[in-house]
Copies of this chain bind each other. A is one copy, B any other.
Amino acid sequence: MGKKVEENKRQKRTSLLMQSYNLFMSKGIPNVSIAEIAEKAGVGKGTFYSYFRDKEDLIDQLIARKAEGLLVHALEDLKSHEAMGMPLSVEDKLIIITDDLITELNKDPKLVKFLNRNLHLGFYKKAFERTDFIGNFDIAAMYKELISSENYEWRNPELMLYTIVEFVSSTVHSIIIEKEPVDLETYKPYLFSCIRSIIQVFKA
């Protein structure tokens, strides 16, 4: 396959991914037809099916792509904090990551809408099982490492992660999308305090 062809294919895929995302956001996933996506992306209807098995497959790839982007960003943020040399507790680290994630999401509320339907812990399992995924992160391993950086005995660290992820994602949803009941900046202090409290609950 020639370079030009390969580049062309990447462009088509990207166009399909981007345009479908825009359509999903503006009209709602079930109200977007494949024909519509193909048209917006400037490709034939049939072309869609040479890139994605079906709408489901497209959505999966979209989620994986978007989620990965967020995660990379958050981890880099954590790294840069660590680079500053201050000692960071587990709480601190989790809050840094959370802060970065929700701050990024707040810049793109449509992304929240899109991800939140799918963004529970279970999602990670699924999304990161994809093999054709760039920069496959092992979330489980990363979390384990994070947790063990301090010498606490955690009562049930997996359950703690579950609780925090669910807590943050559900709580932040309407706050970002509708700024209701309050806006994100107003909510952050409460949110972070709650996270710290929740972590205390899980300390032995």
CB-contacts of A154-173 with B (<8 A): 156, 158-159, 162-163, 166-167, 169-171, 173
In the complex, whether A146 has a CB less than 8 A from a CB of chain B is no
Chain B residues near A174 (CB-CB < 8 A): 120-122
Q: Which of A120, A163, A174 is the most central at the interface, judged by chain B CB atoms within 10 Å of its CB?
A: A163
**B122 and A190 contact, CB distance less than 8 A:** no
Q: How many residues of A contact B (CB 8 A)?
A: 29
**B166 and A170 contact, CB distance less than 8 A:** yes
**A194 and B159 contact, CB distance less than 8 A:** no
Q: Which secondary structure dominates where chain A touches chain B? A: helix
Chain B residues near A173 (CB-CB < 8 A): 120, 166
**B201 and A187 contact, CB distance less than 8 A:** no
**B180 and A190 contact, CB distance less than 8 A:** no
Minimal beta-carbon separation of A138 from chain B (angstroms): 18
**A171 and B167 contact, CB distance less than 8 A:** yes
Identify A198's interface contact among B162, B166, B169, B194, CB under 8 A: B194
Assembly CA distance A174 to B122 (angstroms): 9
User: A120-B173, A194-B197 are known contacts; what are 5 more A-B pairs with Cβ within 8 Å?
Assistant: A162-B171, A163-B171, A167-B170, A194-B201, A197-B200
Residues in chain A within 8 A of chain B (CB atoms): 30, 120-122, 156, 158-159, 162-163, 166-167, 169-171, 173-174, 178, 180-182, 187, 190, 193-194, 197-198, 200-202
